[in-house]
């Protein structure tokens, strides 16, 4: 048969204890208090280590999330700027299709500068169309 007994080493004052016995009891109580303080120190140190590890783990997770958000934000900015830059060519071509201003057409004899602008705009549209079409298809997939 096994069991557990709760006992305390703490000794109360005895009513008829001599001064020497009281001093001995005080020494024992000091030793008991020292043991308790040592156990509390060990427990506090253990808790401190585990809390610091948890804080470090949480901080690393937050740092990782911040880096991911920064990366996503940079990617969105880059994508937005690419779409805006690609839109310049079709806009320019649209302006040319509405008509080359007389001032621009009259700069060179024969109006070759106006045709040069039309040719550059046509080249730009041919060059950008596949990328624009891919971005457009990705945008349609993202909205679904």
Domain range list for the chain: 19-143
pTM for the model stands at 0.40
Residues in the chain: 144
User: Distance between CA atoms of 87 and 77, rounded to whole angstroms?
Assistant: 15
> Which residues make Cβ contacts (< 8 Å) with residue 96, sequence separation at least 6?
114, 117, 118, 121
Q: pLDDT of 84-112, one tens digit each?
A: 556 666 776 676 667 766 676 666 666 67
Look at residue 133 in the predicted model and tell me its pLDDT.
74
Look at residue 65 in the predicted model and tell me its pLDDT.
93
Whether 51 has a pLDDT exceeding 60, the answer reads: yes
Whether 87 contacts 100, CB under 8 Å: no
Q: pLDDT of 6-17, one tens digit each?
A: 555 666 777 788
> Structure tokens of 47?
């808790």
Q: pLDDT of 66-82, one tens digit each?
A: 999 888 887 776 666 55
């Amino acid at each position: 048969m096994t069991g557990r007994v709760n006992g305390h080493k703490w000794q109360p004052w005895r009513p008829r204890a001599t001064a020497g016995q009281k001093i001995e009891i005080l020494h024992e109580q000091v030793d008991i208090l020292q043991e308790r303080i040592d156990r509390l120190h060990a427990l506090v140190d253990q808790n401190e280590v585990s809390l610091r590890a948890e804080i470090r783990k949480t901080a690393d997770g937050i740092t990782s999330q911040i880096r991911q958000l920064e990366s996503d934000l940079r990617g969105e900015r880059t994508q937005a700027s690419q779409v805006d830059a690609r839109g310049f060519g079709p806009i320019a071509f649209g302006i040319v299709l509405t008509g080359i201003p007389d001032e621009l057409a009259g700069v060179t004899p024969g109006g070759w500068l106006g045709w040069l602008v039309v040719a550059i705009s046509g080249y730009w549209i041919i060059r950008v169309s596949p990328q624009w079409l891919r971005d457009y298809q990705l945008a349609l997939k993202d909205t679904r």
